[in-house]
C-alpha cells in the first residue's frame, strides 16, 4: 500500500430514509424464502447548499412456486434523495455510504411488498497537505441566517355557533389568528393556537353591536423534512364566512375555511472573517447589508369612540390608517397611530354634509427578549368600520389589524476569499442580502371633471390602492391606483363628494439587481395641491413618494477562519492496486474473419462482506466489433458478472472503489463463431487510517 492523500473530516451525518418496493413474481409464487438487498453505484452531486445522492437498490428474492424448484429474481430500483448537510465548503468532497435493511415483507398473490430502512452515512472531507499547520489569526464576527427548508399548506374547515339573545341579524364576521404556536417534531409540524372571530350584528333595538369569540386551533401537518431543531413561521388566510340562522332565535351557525401557510426554517449561525492581515496573503472583501426577520406577529384591537354630530341620517363612512409609529420601552412595543374617518350624512336642513374625524389609538404589544437592535415594520389595515348616528352623537366602531415584523439589519464588511487558500476555510452561506435602499418620487397630475359647478374646495383626500410590484430584470415596475376623494361646495351651498381612481406606473432600477430579487415598496402621498380651472373642471397634483428596499437570497462563499489543527479530525488514505484475469466466451451472431476492436466497460461495481473477507463484484459489458465472412462489419454486446475475494484488511473503505478493464487476448474458434477473450481487471482499494494532530501529520 502507498499513501494516496491526507483528508480533513469536516462533518459526519447519518440520514435515515424509509422506502417501499413492490415486486411482481413469476411464475406464481407460494412462498418467499429470502430477501437480500444490496446497494450499487452510489454517486452524488453538490448543488448550492444541497447534496443529491443517487444509487441503485438491487433486491434479490428467493421464492418457491407450486411444484417447482427454488427460484431467484433480482430487481433494480434507482434511488435519488436530497440532503441538506450542516455546511458545504469550497473544494469539499463527499464520502457516501449506504446500507439497506429489510424491515418486513408481505406476499399478496404474486406481488411482494418490501419495506426497507436505508441508512445514508455522509462525510464531508477536504484534502490537506502536510504544510498547513501554520496558525493564523483573524478577526471574526457572528452572522445568522434563516434558510427555508420546506413550505407546507394546510386547509381546515372551521365551524362554530354564535348565540346572542338580542341578535336579530348578523352583519359580518371577521376572523384572524389571535395567537399561534408551531412545534416542530420529527417529520411533523404541530400547530396550536386560537382563532378570534369578531361578530358584528344588529340587535332588537336596531343598534349595531360587537361580540368576540375564540375558537381553538389544533392541526398536525406531516412534513418529511421537519427536524426538532428547526423553527416554523405560520400565517393564515380565511375565506368569506358563511352564517345561517338555526331553529333557535338568536343562534347562528358560522362556517369558513382557514388556510395555513407554514415555512420550515433552519437557523444557521457561524463566525465569518471580517479582517485578515498577514504577509503573503491577498484578501478579497465585500460590503454586505444583511437582513434577518427575528420576530413577527399580528395585533388586532377594537376601537369605539363617540363624537358630537348634529345630523338627521348617516349616509356613508370611509376610513383609513393615516399614521402609525412605534416606541420600544423595555419588553413592550407601544404602537400609536391615527385613523382618519370621512363621514357623509344629512344635516338638520336636509342637505348633504361632510365631516372628517380623526381617532387616535395607542396599544402595547410584548416585544420579546431581543438582545439585538431591531426595527419594526408595521402594516396596518381596517378590517371593519361602522357608525351609528343618534341624538346628536355619532358612535364610530373600528376593528384594526396591524401586522408587524422585527427586522435586524446589519452592515458588515466580510472576507469572501483569501489567496492563497492553503490553510483557509470557506463555507457556503445563503444570506438575505440588501441590494439597495432608496426613494423614488412621482408627480401625478390629473384633471377631474366635476358633476356640479364648484364654488369652494372643502377638502381633498388621497390614498394609494392596489399596489403591485413586478420585477423585470435589474429593473422593477410599480403599478397601482390613486384613489382621490374631493369634497367641494357647489354654488347652491351643498357640500358634495366625488371619488376618482387614477392609475399610475413608475419604473425603477436597482444597482446589481437580479430577476429573483424581492422589492418591497412603501408608498405615501407627500404633497397635494388643487386648482379650479373652470366651474366644473379641477386640476389636482399629487406628489407620491415610494420608499424601496430590494433584497435577494444569495449563495456565497465566506471565509470562516484559518485552519486550527487541534480542533480538527484527520485521516490518511492509502491505496492498493490488484490485477486479476477474467476469461469470457462470446457466441457471435455471424461467423467472423477477424476481430477489429474489443471495448470492455465496467457498468456496475459493489463490495460485499462475509466471514471469508471482502468480495469485490461488478458487471462488465463487452463490445466486440469484427468483420464477418460476408465482409460486413458486425457488432456484438455481451455482459458478464465477476466477483473476487480479498483478505479482510483493517480500515478498508467499502464505498470507495475504482475498477477498470483492458482486453489482453482475443481468439476466434469454431470456424469464427466463438470469440474467446481474456481481460485484465484493475481493482483499486482504499484504506483509512486516523492520525493524531497534536504533533502534526506523519
- pLDDT at residue 132, rounded to an integer: 45
- pLDDT at residue 37, rounded to an integer: 92
Would you say residue 21 has pLDDT above 90? yes
Confidence tier at 598 by pLDDT (50, 70, 90): very high
Confidence tier at 698 by pLDDT (50, 70, 90): very low
Rounded CA separation 361/336 (Å): 6
Average pLDDT on 656-661 reads 88
Confidence tier at 623 by pLDDT (50, 70, 90): very high
- pLDDT at residue 694, rounded to an integer: 47
Average pLDDT on 214-236 reads 86
Q: What percent of the chain has pLDDT over 90?
A: 16
3-state SS class at 567? helix
CB 8 within 8 A of CB 128: yes
DSSP one-letter code for 89? B
Average pLDDT on 439-451 reads 85
483-493: per-residue pLDDT in tens? 888 888 888 77
- pLDDT at residue 320, rounded to an integer: 87
Rounded CA separation 112/65 (Å): 13
Would you say residue 346 has pLDDT above 50? yes
- pLDDT at residue 568, rounded to an integer: 66
- pLDDT at residue 136, rounded to an integer: 64
Q: What percent of the chain has pLDDT over 70?
A: 95
369, 375, 377, 383: CA torsion to nearest 10: 50
Average predicted confidence (pLDDT) for the chain? 84
Q: Where does residue 91 fall: left (phi above 0), alpha (psi -120 to 50 degrees), or beta otherwise? A: left
Least confident of 99-108, 256-265, 269-278: 269-278
- pLDDT at residue 697, rounded to an integer: 44
Would you say residue 133 has pLDDT above 50? no
Rounded CA separation 628/174 (Å): 86
Q: What is the pTM of this model?
A: 0.50
Confidence tier at 196 by pLDDT (50, 70, 90): confident
421-436: per-residue pLDDT in tens? 766 777 777 777 788 8
Least confident of 90-104, 579-593, 596-610, 647-661: 647-661
Cell numbers given for 369: 427578549
Would you say residue 239 has pLDDT above 90? no
DSSP one-letter code for 426? E
- Half-sphere exposure at residue 465, Cβ-oriented, CA atoms within 13 angstroms: 13
CB 263 within 8 A of CB 151: yes
Average pLDDT on 81-102 reads 85
Amino acid at each position: 500500500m502507498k499513501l494516496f492523500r491526507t483528508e480533513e473530516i469536516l462533518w459526519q451525518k447519518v440520514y435515515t430514509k424509509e422506502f417501499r418496493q413492490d415486486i411482481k413474481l413469476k411464475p406464481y409464487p407460494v412462498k418467499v424464502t429470502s430477501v437480500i438487498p444490496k446497494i450499487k453505484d452510489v454517486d452524488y452531486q453538490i448543488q448550492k447548499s444541497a447534496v443529491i445522492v443517487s444509487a441503485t437498490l438491487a433486491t434479490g428474492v428467493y421464492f418457491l412456486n407450486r411444484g417447482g424448484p427454488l427460484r431467484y429474481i433480482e430487481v433494480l430500483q434507482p434511488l435519488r434523495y436530497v440532503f441538506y448537510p450542516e455546511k458545504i465548503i469550497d473544494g469539499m468532497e463527499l464520502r457516501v455510504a449506504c446500507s439497506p435493511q429489510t424491515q418486513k415483507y408481505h406476499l399478496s398473490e404474486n406481488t411482494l411488498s418490501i419495506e426497507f430502512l436505508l441508512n445514508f452515512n455522509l462525510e464531508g472531507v477536504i484534502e490537506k497537505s502536510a504544510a498547513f499547520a501554520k496558525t493564523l489569526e483573524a478577526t471574526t464576527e457572528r452572522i445568522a441566517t434563516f434558510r427555508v427548508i420546506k413550505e407546507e399548506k394546510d386547509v381546515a374547515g372551521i365551524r362554530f355557533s354564535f348565540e346572542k339573545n338580542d341578535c336579530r341579524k348578523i352583519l359580518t364576521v371577521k376572523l384572524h389568528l389571535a395567537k399561534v404556536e408551531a412545534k416542530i417534531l420529527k417529520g411533523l409540524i404541530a400547530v396550536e393556537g386560537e382563532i378570534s372571530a369578531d361578530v358584528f350584528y344588529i340587535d332588537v333595538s336596531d343598534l349595531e353591536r360587537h361580540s368576540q369569540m375564540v375558537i381553538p386551533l389544533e392541526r398536525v401537518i406531516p412534513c418529511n423534512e421537519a427536524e426538532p431543531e428547526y423553527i416554523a413561521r405560520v400565517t393564515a388566510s380565511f375565506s368569506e364566512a358563511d352564517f345561517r340562522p338555526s331553529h333557535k332565535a338568536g343562534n347562528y351557525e358560522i362556517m369558513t375555511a382557514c388556510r395555513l401557510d407554514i415555512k420550515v426554517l433552519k437557523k444557521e449561525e457561524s463566525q465569518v472573517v471580517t479582517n485578515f492581515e498577514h504577509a503573503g496573503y491577498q484578501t478579497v472583501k465585500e460590503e454586505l447589508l444583511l437582513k434577518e426577520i427575528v420576530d413577527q406577529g399580528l395585533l388586532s384591537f377594537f376601537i369605539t369612540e363617540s363624537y358630537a354630530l348634529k345630523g338627521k341620517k348617516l349616509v356613508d363612512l370611509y376610513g383609513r390608517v393615516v399614521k402609525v409609529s412605534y416606541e420600544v420601552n423595555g419588553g413592550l412595543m407601544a404602537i400609536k397611530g391615527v385613523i382618519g374617518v370621512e363621514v357623509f350624512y344629512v344635516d338638520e336642513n336636509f342637505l348633504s354634509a361632510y365631516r372628517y374625524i380623526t381617532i387616535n389609538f395607542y396599544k402595547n404589544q410584548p416585544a420579546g427578549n431581543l438582545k439585538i437592535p431591531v426595527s419594526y415594520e408595521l402594516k396596518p389595515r381596517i378590517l371593519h368600520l361602522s357608525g351609528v348616528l343618534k341624538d346628536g352623537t355619532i358612535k364610530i366602531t373600528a376593528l384594526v389589524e396591524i401586522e408587524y415584523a422585527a427586522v435586524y439589519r446589519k452592515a458588515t464588511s466580510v472576507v469572501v476569499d483569501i489567496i492563497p487558500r492553503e490553510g483557509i476555510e470557506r463555507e457556503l452561506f445563503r444570506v438575505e442580502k440588501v441590494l439597495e435602499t432608496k426613494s423614488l418620487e412621482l408627480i401625478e397630475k390629473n384633471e377631474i371633471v366635476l358633476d356640479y359647478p364648484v364654488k369652494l374646495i372643502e377638502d381633498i383626500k388621497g390614498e394609494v390602492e392596489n399596489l403591485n410590484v413586478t420585477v423585470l430584470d435589474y429593473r422593477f415596475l410599480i403599478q397601482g391606483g390613486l384613489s382621490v376623494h374631493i369634497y367641494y361646495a357647489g354654488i347652491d351651498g351643498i357640500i358634495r363628494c366625488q371619488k376618482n381612481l387614477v392609475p399610475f406606473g413608475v419604473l425603477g432600477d436597482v444597482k446589481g439587481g437580479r430577476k429573483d430579487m424581492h422589492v418591497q415598496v412603501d408608498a405615501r402621498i407627500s404633497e397635494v395641491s388643487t386648482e379650479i380651472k373652470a366651474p366644473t373642471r379641477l386640476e389636482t397634483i399629487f406628489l407620491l413618494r415610494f420608499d424601496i428596499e430590494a433584497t435577494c437570497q444569495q449563495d456565497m462563499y465566506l471565509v470562516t477562519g484559518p485552519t486550527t489543527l487541534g480542533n480538527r479530525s484527520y485521516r490518511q488514505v492509502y491505496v492498493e492496486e490488484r490485477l486479476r484475469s477474467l476469461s469470457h466466451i462470446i457466441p457471435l451472431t455471424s461467423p467472423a474473419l477477424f476481430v477489429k476492436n474489443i471495448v470492455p466497460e465496467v457498468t456496475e461495481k459493489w463490495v460485499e462482506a462475509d466471514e471469508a473477507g471482502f468480495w469485490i463484484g461488478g458487471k462488465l459489458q463487452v463490445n466486440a466489433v469484427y468483420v464477418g465472412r460476408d465482409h460486413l462489419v458486425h457488432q456484438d454486446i455481451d455482459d458478464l458478472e465477476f466477483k473476487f475475494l480479498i483478505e479482510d484488511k483493517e480500515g478498508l473503505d467499502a464505498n470507495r472503489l475504482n475498477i477498470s478493464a483492458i482486453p489482453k487476448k482475443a481468439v476466434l474458434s469454431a470456424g469464427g463463431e466463438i470469440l474467446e477473450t481474456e481481460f485484465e481487471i484493475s481493482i483499486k482499494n482504499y484504506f483509512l487510517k486516523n492520525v493524531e494532530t497534536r504533533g502534526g501529520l506523519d
